[in-house]
Amino acid sequence: MIKKLIEALNEVSKEKEGLAYIKDKYPEEPFYSTAKAYADCVLDWEVGSHLRTLDWEGIYTDADTFLKQAEIVGEYNLFNPNVAEKLVDLLGRDKKYRLARESSVAVYVKEVGEDVDLEKLQEELSADEVYFVKKGELRLWWD
């Protein structure tokens, strides 16, 4: 019984250390919430898997902020910072980007014209899903 209590306290301590690390490394928003949502990418799996958020919306930002968020996520399935850069190159720096987590990586882009070739975009970015959620707002998802 005491051994289990000590183990539980150690886990809580590791999680607090993990959160402190994230807060110290990424003190500003939206970087803190990005790192927390993707804690399993920022911290070791044992701690990060307990802190991550699998259903996180993020906020709309400019392209530069989005690209910095992609750096925090790093490699996740077929999404990575190079894919994020390619997305911005294809759609434009003038768009609004929202990194999200829907179990896996999702990105929403506002102010996208209906003339975008979704199949080509999906192929070029190796995304599993690409579609308009509403007029002018695109959703991409990598699993």
Kindly report, residue by residue over 40-97, the tens digit of the pLDDT: 999 989 888 888 999 999 999 999 999 999 999 999 999 999 999 999 999 999 999 9
Average pLDDT of the chain is: 91
The pTM of the full predicted model, rounded to 2 decimals, is: 0.89
CB atoms within 10 A of CB 70: 24
**Complete edge-to-edge strand list for the sheet that includes strand 55-56:** 55-56, 96-102, 104-110, 137-142, 129-134
